[in-house]
Amino acid sequence: MRGCTRRALLAGALLLSGTLAVRVATAQQRRTIQGVVRDETSGETLPYARVAVMGTRVTTSTNTDGYFALLGLPNSAITVRVTYLGYAPLDTTIAPAADDLLIIEMTRLPIELDPLVVAESYRMIDIADGVSHLTASPRDLALLPSIGETDIFRSLQLLPGISGTNESSSGLFIRGGTPDQNLVLLDGMTVYHVDHFFGFFSAFNADAIKDVQVYKGGYPAQYGGRVAGVVELTGRTGDQNQLRAGVAGNLLSASAAMEIPLGGRGSILISGRRSYTDIIRSSVYQDIFDMFTGAEEPATAGPFAGRGGGGGGARGGQFANAQFATVQPDFYFYDLNGKITFRPSGRDVLSLSVYNGQDFLDESRVLNRELTFGTLPSRQQASDLTEFTDWGNHGVSGKWARQWNSRLYSNGLVAYSTYFSDFTRRTSLEVRDSQTDSILTSRSFGSVEDNRVGDLTLRLDNEWDVARGHKIMFGTWFTRSDVTYTFTRDDTTTILDRDQEATRAEAYVQDAWQIAAPLSLTIGARVSHYDQTDRYYVEPRFSLVYALTNRVRIKGAVGKYHQFVNRVVNENVTEGARDFWLLADGDLVDVQSSRHYVVGASYETGGLLLDAELYRQEFEGLNEFSLRFQRNRTVEPVNLFFAGSGVARGLELLAQRKLGRFTGWLSYTLAEVEHEFPGLNNGEPFPALQDQTHELKAVGSLNLGRWNLSATWALGSGRPYTAPESEYTIELLDGTQQSYIHVGEKNGLRLPAYHRLDLAAHYRLRIGNVDADFGLSVFNLYNRRNVWYRQFDLSESPVLITDVTYLGRTPNISIRFSY
Amino acid sequence: MTYHCPASSAFASPRLTVAVACASFILGACTSNPTDPAGSDLVVIEAFLFAGEPVTEIRVTQTIPLSSADQTPVPINDAVVRLVRDNITYDLVATGTDGYYEDPGNIQVNVGDRFRIEVSYQGTVASGETTVPPPPSGMALSSGIVYAPAFGGGRGRQRGGPGLNDPEQELGVTWSNPDRLLHFVVVESLDDTAEPIVPDQIRDRIGTRFRFVSTPTDDDAATINAVTLEFLGDHRVRLYRVNAEYAQLYENRTQDSRDLNEPPSNIVNGLGVFSAFASDSAFFTVLRR
């Protein structure tokens, strides 16, 4: 296989060099058009807008700073059409002699849309010209129903191939991958954890995001470091012509944003969001909080699970004689985005982007309990439990981008991001004689579980329109990662203590090659050197799109991918799942790898898109972590990790209505995700937890002037789970009887099917210079009690099985003003 | 009921991916997956071998369905049970109706022996293997006498409860364990007619039966507190060197549906444990002060 890959690369390179020579020789007789696409009002550039030469099949797209170039065009008047989500399509005719930098200013579709206007671009998502690639408009997605927060990632979960039935994580389960297997970039910063509020909301404030690019598989060589998908978020730069401000609120949080122009050459954007859940506990907050904590049973019910998508649960009967103090945990989250953009010339862009987001939970409480021993004097036991959990991301990136000439664009980036997850639990226990009040026992013990990931990245990405039909992208990435993970129990038992550093150097090159009018091929490769294993990792990538007709395209992609920092699934049962990140070291944690195979076809008219893709993804180096066999022994880390492989395969279908007052889509996914770990399930393959055979999703948005009504419906077949099947008893040497529960095949059973309908209505109006938006949404309209997981109370006989359900019907209101 | 398309193994060939996936989709060729646990009917083996002792601790039972309110193990008395050592097979015989089997001959269990157990029942063969570990070394007691705690409401009553923080009521057991191997301590009363430490009337009132339980430890010492004993008189401390498969039986079991896993077992095609031990002993006497 390795030999085949090398031969393919060599052949591609020879073919590419020969073709380039011919193209460069003839390019002199034709013209080049270069330009920048931006918002007419704010001057904000528009990334990844589609630019097409009318009457031909020549298309390109703007880069992240809005620049584009079209080479080899005839030296005559031509018309280009520019389309961008949320903007009216714009046709521009360019005179024969015009060769300056073209400024194309697009008009944002008005909030109060005329019902009769047929707006081609007003369609929330755009299946891009590539393979498994789509663009989403945060502004349009905000109109979809939400539980309280406008949530980009929750909206992306409505797309085919991305799971939309997991309420406990806003991360994206793309084509059988898990959220940690996706590369999430915000202005070039790597974001390791995308969840707020135990996963119910994503950590990104939609007000601060301008553009979302999603690659579900087969992604090109310009990206690397993850084995599933890519989500690239481009932050808004703000209005560079006038001061703008906005405020918004709902039953959970409030947000504000301000845009400050810098003399027409740049802008500052600051936006922030904070929940007031620690001040006012609305019913929405309480419902969600209870769902994640099982808090109907006060206090201890359990360990929190949330951050990694796991969960605690009530422990029925365990504290039957306890007297609990009534406690109300304090919880809040916030995020802050800031971005300064400055354009010293028409060809240069300087920007500094900052992101901070954090969740904080204080579950400290006092627990009083009376202990009795028959007729002996009773004792008072007081437990002072201090328990803090906080997690979040901080990041900063600075970049300098320059359009050197009509053909060459460079983007240099320095980014630092850090993810942290800190959990501290300390119990101070004091036992007093009830009669004398003297202290009989006093001790203190606790557990600490801290995880930090730091990521310093230097990047230089270049785009070179070397000749007509050839866009070469090449670049280098240098990443310095440091990860610490400390897991200490009872102060003295160190379960795991890792302090890792690693350096990764990467280089890539790819050619987006328009071989002929109907045929385009993207061929590239990425090479990484990882110092922890001292190995080179070669990743060839190919994708192809062939336009059979103006409306029908067939497409395919193949690629290889590696991941060097992995989120390890923590199997900790008694204290809740707390997944953590570790660097691959080739020892405890393997370097993950995957191969993607995608084939598909699409049929697209002006108002309708039908799209189908088949995919297969093969994973190696998957990891799980378990403490099951180590409780009373010296912990050997090598015994805690399990390694395995997996395969995901499926079919995705999408039908999208793009035009008119009613837009939306219907999507269906047939999928299978199978894992195989030699140390689990007797080495037999088993369905992964994210395996979901069928998923059907419908999204509709009806625009009625000032009113916008939208609905989403999701139906998914049941996810796998593991259940106890029988009980048995063993008599130990000391004569005691030890009962055990025999557990069935790993993930051998399925939860009931999931389905949910959400509705939203928005009323928008303009009052003077102020835009206002009043929203009402209802989550889970028909109050379906979808099962999150099954809980087994093994202390009962027969065993009591309880379905722990997701959120029931939950209404919410929102209001937004912007100036 | 939900539906789940299994393997579609033809997907292993990328060229067939399109055809198979489309056929699977169009024809809806899916099998159903149960949503609720159905229970199981597996053989449970409890088999312990002791170096230098007869083979008697072999028991075979069946799993109990979780839907059953009766938690009494169901013994299997008609299984074919064999021990195999160095390709030599020893057939065991049932001793009665309680599921126990024993060696009718005279198998010598020696340190370092590798044994295999095979249980054939209703067409299924469950099996496991174990090696007899070496006995512990350097075992010693801190004293030959330990004093029982005083109970009752009279003068003997101690503040802080019986036996707490009284060095005369504690007995130290030490052994050599530089490699941090697993050991297990069992305390046995040797006198069948010994006087109970706690007077019967008090025991009745408390309703609690005291018992010393030691979990496997990789330490080189353990402490026996007299409050954990039941009788006055002569006792034996047995220190077992144990294998990992036995130590794992003490794992804490807390399970929920997102994270359930099979309890530790070294039995293939069945459940339970097959383990071997080697022990050393020391003696002490419990006196009333």
Quick: pLDDT tens for A708-722: 899 999 999 999 988
How close is the nearest chain B Cα to the Cα of A402, in Å?
A: 43
In terms of phi and psi (left: phi > 0; alpha: psi -120 to 50; beta: otherwise), the region of A490 is left
Q: A794–B264: do the CB atoms touch at under 8 Å?
A: no
Q: B2–A797: do the CB atoms touch at under 8 Å?
A: no
Contact call for residues B221 and B174 (beta carbons, < 8 A)? yes
Question: Which of A 433-462 lie inside 8 A of B, CB atoms?
Answer: 433, 436, 440
pLDDT given for residue A324 in this prediction: 38
pLDDT given for residue B231 in this prediction: 83
Q: B42–A723: do the CB atoms touch at under 8 Å?
A: no
Tell me the one-letter amino acid at B71: Q
Q: A741–B253: do the CB atoms touch at under 8 Å?
A: yes
pLDDT given for residue A20 in this prediction: 45
Quick: pLDDT tens for B154-204: 443 444 444 455 677 888 999 999 988 888 888 888 877 778 877 665 555
- Which one of A571, A740, A749 has the shortest CB-CB distance to B33? A749
**Among the residues of A333-454, which ranges form H helices?**
none
Q: Is B277 on the interface with A (CB under 8 A)?
A: yes
Contact call for residues A806 and A790 (beta carbons, < 8 A)? no
In terms of phi and psi (left: phi > 0; alpha: psi -120 to 50; beta: otherwise), the region of A176 is left
pLDDT given for residue A727 in this prediction: 84
Q: B11–A616: do the CB atoms touch at under 8 Å?
A: yes
Quick: pLDDT tens for A123-155: 678 887 789 998 888 877 777 777 666 788 888
Contact call for residues A509 and A529 (beta carbons, < 8 A)? no
Contact call for residues B171 and B218 (beta carbons, < 8 A)? no
Q: Which tops the pLDDT comparison, A640 or B42?
A: B42
Q: What does chain A come to in residues?
A: 819
Residue A757: its H or E element: strand A754-767
Quick: pLDDT tens for A213-234: 999 999 999 999 999 999 999 9
What mean pLDDT comes out for the span A588-600?
A: 94
Q: A738–B249: do the CB atoms touch at under 8 Å?
A: yes
Q: B255–A794: do the CB atoms touch at under 8 Å?
A: yes
How close is the nearest chain B Cα to the Cα of A10, in Å?
A: 24
- pLDDT interval class at A706 (50, 70, 90): confident
Phi and psi (nearest 5°) for A5? -60, -40
List A395's β-bridge partners, or say none. Answer: A355, A417
Q: A573–B214: do the CB atoms touch at under 8 Å?
A: no
pLDDT given for residue A646 in this prediction: 95
How close is the nearest chain B Cα to the Cα of A779, in Å?
A: 24
Q: Is B209 on the interface with A (CB under 8 A)?
A: no
pLDDT given for residue A399 in this prediction: 94
Q: Which tops the pLDDT comparison, B186 or A699?
A: A699
- Token representation of residue A225: 């470091």
Q: A313–B184: do the CB atoms touch at under 8 Å?
A: no
Q: A663 in helix, strand or coil?
A: strand
Quick: pLDDT tens for A275-290: 887 777 666 677 766 6
- pLDDT interval class at A291 (50, 70, 90): low
pLDDT given for residue A790 in this prediction: 80
Quick: pLDDT tens for A390-401: 889 999 999 999
Q: Does the pLDDT of residue A666 top 70, yes or no?
A: yes
Q: Which residue on chain A is closest to B244 by alpha carbon?
A: A629
Q: Does the pLDDT of residue B283 top 60, yes or no?
A: yes
Mean pLDDT, chain A, integer: 81
Interface residue of B1, B2, B43, B67 to substitute, partner A, most A CBs within 10 Å: B2
Complete DSSP assignment for B130-196: EEPPPPPEEEEES-SEEEEPP-SSSTT--TTSTTTT-GGGEEEEEEE-TT---EEEEEEE--TTPPB
Q: Is A549 on the interface with B (CB under 8 A)?
A: no
Q: Which residue on chain A is closest to B8 by alpha carbon?
A: A672
Quick: pLDDT tens for A38-79: 998 888 889 889 888 888 777 888 988 899 888 878 878 889
Q: At which residue do the structure tokens 């999703």 appear? A: A697
- Which one of A629, A717, A731 has the shortest CB-CB distance to B264? A629
Q: Which residue on chain A is closest to B32 by alpha carbon?
A: A750
Question: Which of A 612-651 lie inside 8 A of B, CB atoms?
Answer: 614, 616, 626, 628-629, 631-634, 647, 649-651
**Cβ partners under 8 Å of residue A655, min gap 6:** A608, A609, A610, A611, A665, A666, A667
List A523's β-bridge partners, or say none. Answer: A511, A542
Question: Which of B 22-81 lie inside 8 A of A, CB atoms?
Answer: 22, 24-25, 30, 33-42, 44, 46, 48, 59, 61-69, 71, 73
- Token representation of residue B61: 């039972």
pLDDT given for residue A809 in this prediction: 87
Interface residue of A579, A726, A745, A755 to substitute, partner B, most B CBs within 10 Å: A726
Q: A727–B36: do the CB atoms touch at under 8 Å?
A: no
Q: Based on C-alpha coordinates, what's the Rg of chain B?
A: 26
State the virtual CA torsion across A558, A560, A563, A566 in degrees, nearest 10.
60
- Which one of B73, B256, B261 has the shortest CB-CB distance to A729? B73
Q: B2–A376: do the CB atoms touch at under 8 Å?
A: no
Q: B240–A670: do the CB atoms touch at under 8 Å?
A: no
- Token representation of residue B98: 């309680």
Interface residue of B243, B257, B266 to substitute, partner A, most A CBs within 10 Å: B257
Quick: pLDDT tens for B17-51: 545 444 444 444 344 556 666 656 789 999 999 99
Q: Which tops the pLDDT comparison, A739 or B28?
A: A739
pLDDT given for residue A61 in this prediction: 86
Quick: pLDDT tens for A473-527: 999 999 999 999 988 876 667 777 889 999 999 999 999 998 887 899 999 999 9
Complete DSSP assignment for A201-236: EES--GGGEEEEEEE-SS--TT--S-SS-EEEEEE-
Q: Does the pLDDT of residue A778 top 60, yes or no?
A: yes
How close is the nearest chain B Cα to the Cα of A741, in Å?
A: 7
- Which one of A685, A725, A792 has the shortest CB-CB distance to B256? A792
pLDDT given for residue A635 in this prediction: 52
Quick: pLDDT tens for A73-120: 887 888 999 988 878 888 988 887 666 778 899 988 765 555 444 444
Complete DSSP assignment for A24-68: HHHHTTSEEEEEEEEETTT--B-TT-EEEETTSS-EEE--TTSEE
pLDDT given for residue A222 in this prediction: 94
pLDDT given for residue A303 in this prediction: 29
pLDDT given for residue A349 in this prediction: 92
The ipTM value here is 0.74
Question: Which of B 144-163 lie inside 8 A of A, CB atoms?
Answer: 159-161
pLDDT given for residue A57 in this prediction: 74
Q: Does the pLDDT of residue A556 top 90, yes or no?
A: yes
Q: A723–B37: do the CB atoms touch at under 8 Å?
A: yes
Q: A729–B216: do the CB atoms touch at under 8 Å?
A: no
Q: A373–B206: do the CB atoms touch at under 8 Å?
A: yes
Quick: pLDDT tens for A741-771: 887 788 888 999 999 999 999 898 888 889 8
What mean pLDDT comes out for the span A435-452?
A: 80
Interface residue of B258, B265, B269 to substitute, partner A, most A CBs within 10 Å: B258
- pLDDT interval class at A268 (50, 70, 90): very high
- Distance separating alpha carbons of residues A688 and A178, to the nearest angstrom: 10
Q: A123 in helix, strand or coil?
A: coil
CB atoms within 10 A of CB A255: 23
Question: Which of A 288-347 lie inside 8 A of B, CB atoms?
Answer: 310-311, 313, 315
Of A340, A46, A485, A395, which Cα lies nearest the Cα of A203? A395
